[in-house]
Amino acid sequence: MASSGKEGEPDMVPMLDMVFQLITFFMLVINFKSASMDLELKLPVVGSARPVDMKGSKDMLVLNINELGQLKVFGEVKEDIEGYIANEGAASRLAVRAKDRDFKDTDDLPSNVVVRADQATPFKLLNRVIKACQDNGFRNFSMKALNKKPGS
Amino acid sequence: MSRRRRKKHDAGGVEVNLTAMLDMAFQLLAFFVLTFKPAPIEGQISLRMPPPQPVVMARTKDKKAGDTNKTVTTGLDSLVISAFPNKSGGLGTMQVFDQPVATLAGLDAELRDKLTAANTPFEQVVIQVHSGLRYDALMSVIDICTRQKMADGKPLSKLSFVELDPDAK
């Protein structure tokens, strides 16, 4: 380049191709739902835990409960657990009523409550959350667990 | 290649500057690489939890001699399991009604006998859980329960929890 005195132009096209392929890969595998999960929790290991069935997926309420019984939603600790669940229940009820006018306040909510609790959480603290959900009309629960120990 | 390019130049062709697009593509790539955090593959146990029902405490004066039923009076359709923790909060002792069960395998056999009997009255399982029992210990009991099948061949899905008094043993 310097010897000939001409301006060298590197061919960018293969690099651009590769970069776009990488971007496509990451776009396909990225999962924004994982933002609702607190990955610091150590879930219990249960052999019969089945993979999440996405067919007929309904509205989901993901509740992360750490070993201190704190409720974390999108990384934020909710101090007023009962108040938060009551709000979510009311929002869910409104959404259902928009589709089904015959839906009554006393009817069970079709939403699914996904409980992600740390394995060391005492039942007393966990039950507080479950009871609050039940009191607000939630009936369908999914208890998250791992099929096998991490790293095995 | 150079000949072709020269021809284009000569013909007044336009050469697209790829640098800007490459910059943008690299920024997108950097974003995706930095935010990429593969979530662990999680499973779940789906439960249909019936509405909370009032629990009647068994009064001490109503207890007969040898009656170890500690807490609840339930309907005929409920099979009652009690789970108590050990010192570390793990699974200690268990009972099916008043009958002690030593191991999870024993619980499995007991439930199978009671739920699959042709004339079984049970439609749901109520787990009385000590307030200090850890979640992983509870899940091991739930695991056994959800493996059970009812007399009609359908899997057991109706479960409910009752919190036991911390002093209960």
Give DSSP secondary structure letters for chain B. -HHHHHHHHHHT------HHHHHHHHHHHHHHHHH--PPP--EEEEEEPPPP---EEPPGGGPPTT----SEE--TTEEEEEEEE-TTSSEEEEEETTEEE-SHHHHHHHHHHHHHSTT----EEEEEEETT-BHHHHHHHHHHHHT-B-TTSPBP-BEEEEEEPTT--
CA atoms of A25 and A23, how far apart (whole Å): 5
Q: Tell whether B72 and B123 lie within a shared domain.
A: yes
What's this model's pTM, rounded to 2 decimal places?
Answer: 0.72
Residues B44-72 as b/e (b if ≥16 CB within 10 A, e otherwise) read: bbbbebbeeeeeeeeeeeeeeeeeebbbb
Q: Tell whether B79 and B22 lie within a shared domain.
A: no
Q: Is residue B116 part of a domain?
A: yes
Does the interface predicted TM-score (ipTM) exceed 0.85? no
Q: Is residue B80 part of a domain?
A: yes
Whether the CB-CB separation of B127 and B83 falls below 8 Å is answered with yes
Q: Is residue B44 part of a domain?
A: no
Q: Tell whether B17 and B60 lie within a shared domain.
A: no
Q: Tell whether B31 and B60 lie within a shared domain.
A: no
Angle at B45 between CA A56 and CA A33, to 5 degrees: 55
CA atoms of A9 and A65, how far apart (whole Å): 57
Angle at A148 between CA A143 and CA A150, to 5 degrees: 105
If you search the block for the tokens 């923790």, which residue do you land on? B85
| pLDDT per residue rounded down to tens, chain A (152 residues) | 444 555 677 888 888 899 999 999 988 887 776 777 787 888 998 877 777 665 555 688 889 999 898 998 888 889 899 999 999 999 999 988 888 888 887 788 888 899 999 999 999 999 999 999 988 889 888 888 887 777 66
Q: Is residue B63 part of a domain?
A: yes
B151 to chain A, any CB pair closer than 8 A? The answer is no
What is the model's pLDDT at position B168?
62
3-state DSSP assignment of residue A32: helix
Q: Tell whether B65 and B20 lie within a shared domain.
A: no
User: Which two tokens mark A97?
Assistant: 């009523």
Q: Tell whether B65 and B121 lie within a shared domain.
A: yes
CA atoms of B145 and B136, how far apart (whole Å): 14
Across the interface, of A26, A127, A141, the residue whose CB is closest to B163 is A127
Q: What domain count does chain B have?
A: 2
CA atoms of B94 and B81, how far apart (whole Å): 7
Judged by CB atoms within 8 Å, which residues 46-75 of B form the interface with A?
A: 46-52
CA atoms of B65 and B85, how far apart (whole Å): 26
* Positions in chain B short of pLDDT 70: 1-12, 50-76, 167-169
Q: Tell whether B80 and B20 lie within a shared domain.
A: no
Q: Is residue B112 part of a domain?
A: yes
User: Which two tokens mark B19?
Assistant: 């640098």
Across the interface, of B33, B37, B142, the residue whose CB is closest to A143 is B142
Q: Is residue B48 part of a domain?
A: no
Q: Is residue B60 part of a domain?
A: yes
CA atoms of A125 and B138, how far apart (whole Å): 13
Domain that holds residue B20: 2-35
Cβ–Cβ of B40/A150 closer than 8 Å? Answer: yes
Q: Tell whether B83 and B12 lie within a shared domain.
A: no
Name every chain B residue with its beta carbon within 8 A of the beta carbon of A1. Answer: none
The residue among B67, B66, B93 whose CA lies nearest residue B82 is B93
Q: Tell whether B76 and B115 lie within a shared domain.
A: yes
Q: Is residue B42 part of a domain?
A: no
Tell me the residue type at A120: A
Across the interface, of B37, B129, B136, the residue whose CB is closest to A34 is B37
Return the number of other C-beta atoms located less than 10 Å from residue B105's C-beta. 10
